[in-house]
Amino acid sequence: MQVDYSGAVPAVQSGRTDVAIGDYYRTTSRAEVVGLSEAMYVDGMGIISKDGVTDIPTILTRNVGTVDGYLWVADLQAQLGDKLKIYKSNVEMWADLDSGRIDVGIDSVPAAAFSASQNGGDWKVTTADPYEPIGASVKPAQVGIPFTKSNTALGEALNADIAALRADGTLKQIFIDHDVDPSLTEVEDSYLLDS
């Protein structure tokens, strides 16, 4: 069953589907309505630039844009105010990057890496260095698979598969094959973000 991103968790919650596949953050509010697998990877704050900058204070001196809805948006707004351009989608953000209206784009690392591979150009995608005023750079979201809360056997099977993919290196290799920072797959402890 295909649903849009915002309808996927409600589809699992209502029992119309057993799982949702996508970049779903492990949050306390989601854990109230669906089961969540162990973390597959950390969804780092991806910085898209020409020079490969990783330092947030440096990007704060530039024209910056980001996609709405990410955990870092409010913190970036507090730092940049009206200078931050917020986009409905990464397609619009990439158009402004390519045209030079912004110097730096911020998206999740996997989404940024994929878009960079599709858009061409000399863009570099890096993971933001931790910077206390931007909480998501210090404690980024973890991604898991939402599943029907009452189906604990499915949750156990998902967790076993994730563990196997991590143990045999498959998960890391998927990231390498798609030019995404493989260190994002090194999850020490699963946690839920408050939301």
Boundary-marking domain end, from 112, 138, 164: 138
Domain count, the chain: 2
Q: Is there a domain that residue 96 lies in? A: yes
Residues 89 and 102 placed together within one structural domain of the fold: yes
Contact 143, 26 (CB under 8 A): yes
Q: Is there a domain that residue 188 lies in? A: no
> What is the predicted pLDDT for the residue at 6?
79
Residue 118: give the domain boundaries.
45-138
Residues 52 and 102 placed together within one structural domain of the fold: yes
Tens digits of residue pLDDT in 82-112: 999 999 989 999 999 999 999 999 999 999 9
CATH number of the domain residue 171 falls in: 3.40.190.10
Please state, in angstroms and as integers, the Cα–Cα distance from residue 55 to each residue in 42, 76, 115, 120, 185, following that order.
19, 13, 21, 23, 21
> What would you report as the CA-atom Rg of the chain, rounded to the nearest whole angstrom?
17
Residues 105 and 132 placed together within one structural domain of the fold: yes
Residues 61 and 117 placed together within one structural domain of the fold: yes
Q: Is the pLDDT of residue 147 over 80?
A: yes
Q: Is there a domain that residue 186 lies in? A: no
> What is the predicted pLDDT for the residue at 77?
97
Mean pLDDT, the chain, whole residue set: 94
User: For the residues 183-193, what does the mean pLDDT come to?
Assistant: 92
Q: Is there a domain that residue 105 lies in? A: yes
Contact 60, 80 (CB under 8 A): yes
Residues 174 and 118 placed together within one structural domain of the fold: no
Residues 100 and 83 placed together within one structural domain of the fold: yes
Cα(84)–Cα(9) distance, integer angstroms: 29
Q: Is the pLDDT of residue 187 over 90?
A: yes
Q: Binning pLDDT at 50, 70 and 90, where does residue 72 land?
A: very high
> What is the predicted pLDDT for the residue at 118?
87
Q: Is there a domain that residue 90 lies in? A: yes
Q: Is there a domain that residue 195 lies in? A: no
Q: Binning pLDDT at 50, 70 and 90, where does residue 181 land?
A: confident
Q: Is there a domain that residue 187 lies in? A: no
- Dihedrals φ, ψ of 123, to 5°? -75, 140
24 beta partners: 144
pTM: 0.82
Residues 101 and 57 placed together within one structural domain of the fold: yes
CB neighbourhood size of 151 (10 A): 17
| Burial classification of residue 150, based on how many CB atoms lie within 10 Å of its CB (0-12 exposed, 13-18 middle, 19 or more buried) | exposed
Residues 69 and 33 placed together within one structural domain of the fold: no
Comparing 2-6, 60-64, 66-70, 188-192, the range with the smallest average pLDDT is 2-6
Q: Binning pLDDT at 50, 70 and 90, where does residue 2 land?
A: confident
Residues 33 and 95 placed together within one structural domain of the fold: no
Tens digits of residue pLDDT in 41-61: 999 899 999 999 999 999 999
Helix (H), strand (E) counts: the chain: 9, 10
| 165 token code pair | 């993919």
> What is the predicted pLDDT for the residue at 3?
84
Residues 128 and 155 placed together within one structural domain of the fold: no
> What is the predicted pLDDT for the residue at 36?
98
Residues 35 and 51 placed together within one structural domain of the fold: no
The helix (H) or strand (E) run that includes residue 14 is helix 5-14
Residues 62 and 28 placed together within one structural domain of the fold: no
Distance of CA 10 to the CA centre of its chain: 20
